[in-house]
Amino acid sequence: MSAWRPVLVVGEDAPVNDHTTPPIPAPAPALRPVRGMARLAVISLALAGALWAVRAVWEIRLAVTGEPASGPPDQGEGVHRPLTSLENSYHLVSAVGGAAVLICAIVFLLWLDNVRDNARALSGHKPRYSGFWLYAGWLIPIANLWIPRSIIADAHQDSAPGQRLPVSLNVWWGLWLIGLFSGVGLMYGDDTDQLIARAYTDPWMLFVSDAAVIGAAAAGILVVRALTAVQERHLHGTVPYGDSPVHPA
């Protein structure tokens, strides 16, 4: 009796193993929803810009009306004369606008925190700046000249590697810095009575600052929409990470 020997069959006649397990794709990173917070950020930016425009109109009215014969509201040495009706209304407009800017800042930072976390999940890279700088970077002198922009730029690059940054990012940051350096923008030291006096005597710097702040609010809306759109494509799975460049806004 001859011994049985196994025969190896190769090529087209080889049997097919129906039990081969296909490779399991890597799970997509868990991302935080960004659309709702982005909408709130856009609304708050639009509201802050609109109210700042109203404030600019009041400053124009003050400049056209001219300073009363009694002099500026702050007479010096703690003495303040009674305000005119126009000056009183400017105080109200300024207070409402300041509240809107504060709300806008809070909402914008919440949106930025979301997209920053998503960028870290997508890229697997630790952010260049810690969470401390997400807030302190806007307030600490010198650092506030570049860190906030860098945080947004890093989030965009980590979300869409190889893609150009939105043009609106540099426009927004340039206008923000103009408002910052003008001394009467979003971070000014003068109180409302001092601003009224400046509107009477030297309004042009006020107008330049107002235009910069309003423009920064408009450009900020484009920044929010551009970065949100990049991450929305990953959230909905329409674009694999690193593919299909998004046209910068």
Residues 6+ away with beta carbon under 8 Å from 135: 109
The C-alpha atoms of residue 119 and residue 127 are separated, in whole angstroms, by 9
How many CB atoms are located within 10 Å of the residue 200 CB? 19
19 phi/psi in degrees, rounded to 5? -100, 10
pTM, 2 dp? 0.80
Quick: pLDDT tens for 164-174.
Answer: 999 999 999 99
> Tokens 């105080």 map to which residue?
91
Task: Give 151's strand partners.
Answer: none
Q: Report the SS3 class of residue 231.
A: helix
CA atoms of 16 and 127, how far apart (whole Å): 48
Q: Which residues of the chain have pLDDT under 50?
A: 24-26, 239, 241, 243-247
> CA–CA separation, 229 vs 140, rounded Å?
30
Question: For 47-71, what is each residue's pLDDT tens digit?
Answer: 999 999 999 999 999 999 999 988 8
